[in-house]
Structure 1
Amino acid sequence: MAGGLAALLDDVAAIAKMASAASTKAVGVVVDDTAVTPRFIQGVSPARELPIIGKIALGSLRNKLVFILPAILLLSQFLPWALTPLLMLGGAYLCYEGAEKVYEVIVGHHETPTGEAASEQPALRSGAEAEKALVRGAITTDFILSSEIMVISLDQVAEAEFVYRAVSLIVVAIAITALVYGVVALIVKMDDVGLHLAAKPASRGLGMGLVKAMPVVLSALSGIGIAAMLWVGGHIIVAGAAELGWHAPLDLIHVLAGPAEHVHAFLGWLVDTLCSALVGLVIGGVLVGVLHLVPRKKSDQHAAAH
């Protein structure tokens, strides 16, 4: 009995160690995920913020455990070469999402892929419908980031037996989802915490400071989220291209980041990140142009013909 318990504890310790290593390697994408999500909550009624975050968190966990985990385990077992192209497609989607937000900021309003302004589209019929659309959009974006997190984590336990790989990734999926959406919930409810503190004389100054700071924080996080999508998407594509045999883009980034890294490791990382974000912006800009401008041109030509 003691021997069985010791073996079980050894297995648990091994899984915990592998899960810890896997989640540590994915921490960069976890930060991106945390930065991206709050922008989906902006403008939502305070009473619905936590329920919506809960729905997105459940959708994220479902993404990881029901769709991504079985797929990457099967692919890693039978078609390991397919993981990189699939990740690159996901990276292209992130580039498009980030570049589209930049495009909206430049033109001053949202446009659909058909070229029509959002104000010209039929309004959502109810708050429930708008909430479903918001949650669906957040979960779709999360799917790409979750895929990257899970594939990075898988790479860290690739040499383990199948069962250990599966259990380790389940632990990573649950832990990272709890971390990301716990932090997101704390961020979006910080203004309520501020109001609570402001109601007490001893903490009024701190409370009012939090209330005044939160719009700035949320706005900054929205910008960070856009930058994160471009950075992660660009990095996925550049790294994937290198794995498929085209090393030039990644080598160029390393050359550009080299001098900065000699000054300080953080500066090297910053240059690398900016280069990846620029790649993401260029790729995303091309996709935005195709999906926004080409349909508009066809629409204008059709209108002129009539």
Structure 2
Amino acid sequence: MTPSMLEFDRLTKRYGERTALRELSFSVAAGELFGFVGSNGAGKTTTMRIALGVLASDSGEVRWKGGAVDLAVRARIGYMPEERGLYPKMKVGEQLVYLAQIHGMGGRAAQSAMEAWTERLGVAERRGDEVQKLSLGNQQRVQLAAALVHDPEVLILDEPFSGLDPVAVEVMSGVLREKAAEGCPVVFSSHQLDLVERLCDRVGIIRGGEMVACDTVEALRSQGNRRVLVVAPRAGATWAEGVPGVTTLEADGGRFLVELDDSADDQALLHAALATGPVHEFATQQQTLTDLFRNVVTQEVAA
């Protein structure tokens, strides 16, 4: 076992007859960016709240460095809730200093950390403003500062990119990379799957309270049937139908995205494309994380 590993071990949580989490297990290593994705109501927020002690699981446990996550450990976790947890009428600077101090920092260190993070996140000029007077994007920046100000050993962030403009997204992405580079396990949920794909070392997809896929981004993208992009300007919409095991996913003029099952022969597909005339492109394409997620959601609906 890796000493600085955050482990979620067989978490189960029920609300009456509804099971929100069912034997959910995954781990996040030191220095790893882990993307936690799923549909609304899949169990992401419940999992994070159990890690913070906001909720209690019915069974299973969360461990840090091999031990239970108790009050002392939770003081070393930086948590960013999806629903903002700041005091709306308290000034930004005062609030961040206060939050740092209740996590155990001394007054001078807390002041220094507040100044550093508000500067880093672009809200230094708003230190004297009440949180409720900030734009939603700036409130999100302050919420991240609140998760970082006490120099946490672990980061757990629920939809941290929600409501941010592209510049703020890049700033926040840079911060998460930096914290991971310092050895901090970083877990975050997001519906922005292109961002998850770009940032994360590994991704876990949760459906109905169960982990249905968990691996590196590259491994997840390589799952499923092969896909080929074919650019054949003279081909009709149904040119690929005669090739066994091939399904046309997209057709736009002479540009086609087709899927090949295990029985399909890509050379037979190429010959069929050439039979229509010139072929300008014939390239294998991996599915995106969005494609994989869509397939998982489709399975959920079908079930």
Larger RCO, structures 1/2 (Cα 8 Å, 6+ apart): 1
TM-score (norm 2): 0.25
Structure 1 or 2, whichever has the larger Rg, is: 2
Instruction: Give the structure with the higher percent helix.
Output: 1
